[in-house]
Structure 1
Amino acid sequence: MDSGGWEARSPDRFRLGEGARWHEGRLYFVDLLQGGLYSTRPGCGPVDLRREAGLDVPLGAVAPVHGRPGAWIAAAGPGIALLRPGAQPHWIARPEDGAPRPMRMNDAVCDPAGRFWATSMAADAEPGAGSLYRVDRDGSVHRVLTGLTVPNGPVFDPAGTALFLADSARGLIVSHGVDPESGRLGPARPFVRLGQGEGKPDGMTVDDRGCLWVALWGAGRVHCYDPLGRLRAEVAAPTPNVSSVAFGGGLMHLTTAWHRLAEPDPWAGAVLDRPTEVTAPPAAPFRPSFP
């Protein structure tokens, strides 16, 4: 299959690569079901792939912690944990413990104000079982949305005044107004609905122009939408299960997966990149007000 200009960052192939984040000159991502956090530095010659952390539960996504080098806040297993070099995970909260069915955290991101937003879903993708949580800077955890199925994103515009959230199972992306001071959400507004055969909206990012880039699981494509929800660009990938997208170092980065592919192609599960002129903010950090 033609790579379309994409290069694999290493020979490694990940079952469910997710959560691509650009931070301090490196690309960070997770192998979700295997509980691994990895990083790589593109353009450095020899393969530079590091396993940064490993958990015995699924690891959905991470964000750096401001002022604490090497520390991450993570959506993992049934809740939210701090990952610190050389230490066991410190659980801030496990809001999905004791749920009526097995649950796990999924995608997550920080807003520009330093709050962490994390989604959950049922292990069997039961419709409506998932939630969106907000972790405030004081470490308090609040369930702010319910009734989600396979929630992905979430992502914010550069000003932190709009939240975009995908429900992959429904093929729908919505937007919410956000109060930057309190983190309070406004009502959901339909932003994009994907049609039959267009794939499922998975990981997303917002570029410096405020355009939304969406990885389309099952379709081997990435779509770019302007702030009004109009399709402005399509980028093809050489494998169908494209799971997240990020920008940094003059490159567009994709995570992919061989999960649920009966016959994985040679690119399935690779971390891919190719040159681009698109730029985006680096991963926003969690800014805790507690020790």
Structure 2
Amino acid sequence: MTGSAREEAAGPAGDGWRPCCPERYRLGEGARWHEGRLSFVDLLRGALYSCAPGGDPVGPRREADLGIPLGAAAPVAGRPGEWIVAAGPGVALLRSGGEPRWIARPEADAPHPMRMNDAACDPRGRFWATSMAVDAAPGAGSLHRIDRDGSSHRVLTGLTVPNGPAFDPSGGTLYLADSARGLIASHAVAPDSGQLGPARPFVSLGPGEGRPDGMTVDDRGRLWVALWGAGRVQCYDPQGRLCAAVPVPTPHVSSVAFGGGRMYVTTAWHRLADPDRLAGAVLARPSRVTAPPVACYRPYLS
């Protein structure tokens, strides 16, 4: 393991994690950096928030409160205040304070209860969203792609708790975790069609090492992975070699993002019998790592 990536992520010695706001979230997820603010969700509440790097005087701004599970969101290009969200049984467009306008609900007619989980856009403006069974039934989950024309495609099946989706800066590689299995795979992505190549094993985590959850790729093409249950974020180079392990002072780390000279993580108190004082906090610390801003959904029709 090299020291450089950890030193970049952690900043100068002695600088530790600090909560971005006083609130604690049951299942914080989906950290994204966009136009100088951090956005994130409280998944089980179905709420989308954003906050300034140093914290807002009155706390995070609530962008939406859907009342159904909300896994992740991405901004819509050219439409300030509009988001594409993976929520409930599908994918919708959403404005602050408005009702969702559904693009697709691919899991609405599933034989057992399903919900959307994690999601992200690729650099070409397509939205990729994962789904899973509410009871995490093995193999019930899928990966869906929403193209720029609004068409919906189920592109992978047989997943259990799919998380991540993250893209390298070129958009030519997709990283996808199956948290329940402790696996991260990579896929080549055809630039024009979005067609996926076969899964290539990238990282396998054993018992006690944590479960791979939210992920992001930095400007150098390294994959940063939040490890649920392990209180840690790990960094891998494009060959899957471990470059850094950054401790986080609460066990359920669920997503990671970089922006404004900081490293951010979301955490959760969900499924902790005795939550510590930082469980569920959105945490930040100084960092020299840089990463591309969150990719936007780019619909053909305005």
> What TM-score, normalized by structure 2, do the two folds share?
0.94
Partner of 1:34: helix, strand, or coil?
Answer: coil
- Change in 2 beyond 3 A, CA 1:55/1:118: same
> Given the alignment of the two structures, is residue 12 of structure 1 paired with residue 23 of structure 2, yes or no?
yes
Q: Give how far 1:4 is off.
A: 7.1
In the other structure, the counterpart of 1:257 is: 268
User: What is the identity, as a one-letter code, of the residue corresponding to 2:294?
Assistant: A
Partner of 2:184: helix, strand, or coil?
Answer: strand
> Given the alignment of the two structures, is residue 227 of structure 1 paired with residue 242 of structure 2, yes or no?
no
User: What is the identity, as a one-letter code, of the residue corresponding to 1:52?
Assistant: E
Q: Give how far 1:283 is off.
A: 0.6
**Cα distance in 2, alignment partners of residues 22 and 198 from structure 1:** 27
Residue correspondence of structure 1 range 203-222 to structure 2 within 5 A: 203-222=214-233
| 2:132–2:140 contact (8 Å) kept in structure 1 | yes
Q: Give how far 1:86 is off.
A: 4.0
User: What is the identity, as a one-letter code, of the residue corresponding to 2:159?
Assistant: L
- Change in 2 beyond 3 A, CA 1:52/1:268: same
- Change in 2 beyond 3 A, CA 1:70/1:45: closer
User: What is the identity, as a one-letter code, of the residue corresponding to 2:243?
Assistant: R
In the other structure, the counterpart of 1:99 is: 110
Deviation string for 1:117-162 (max 9, x for gaps)? Answer: 0000000000000000000000000000000000000000000000
* 1:122 aligned to which of 133, 151, 173: 133
In the other structure, the counterpart of 1:177 is: 188
**Cα distance in 2, alignment partners of residues 152 and 5 from structure 1:** 27
Residue correspondence of structure 1 range 44-55 to structure 2 within 5 A: 46=57, 48-55=59-66
> Given the alignment of the two structures, is residue 283 of structure 1 paired with residue 289 of structure 2, yes or no?
no
Residue correspondence of structure 1 range 52-201 to structure 2 within 5 A: 52-201=63-212
RMSD after superposition: 1.2
In the other structure, the counterpart of 1:23 is: 34
Gaps of 5+ in 1: none
Percent of counterpart pairs with the same letter? Answer: 74
| 2:20–2:55 contact (8 Å) kept in structure 1 | no
Count residues with an aligned counterpart. Answer: 289
| 1:4–1:237 contact (8 Å) kept in structure 2 | no
Partner of 1:87: helix, strand, or coil?
Answer: coil
**Cα distance in 2, alignment partners of residues 65 and 114 from structure 1:** 9
Deviation string for 1:88-114 (max 9, x for gaps)? Answer: 110001000110110000000000000
| 1:134–1:144 contact (8 Å) kept in structure 2 | yes
| 1:241–1:256 contact (8 Å) kept in structure 2 | yes
User: What is the identity, as a one-letter code, of the residue corresponding to 1:24?
Assistant: E
- Change in 2 beyond 3 A, CA 1:4/1:129: farther
> What TM-score, normalized by structure 1, do the two folds share?
0.97
| 1:41–1:48 contact (8 Å) kept in structure 2 | no
| 1:10–1:47 contact (8 Å) kept in structure 2 | no
Q: Give how far 1:49 is off.
A: 1.0
Gaps of 5+ in 2: 1-13
**Cα distance in 2, alignment partners of residues 108 and 172 from structure 1:** 17
- Change in 2 beyond 3 A, CA 1:224/1:70: same
**Cα distance in 2, alignment partners of residues 85 and 197 from structure 1:** 40
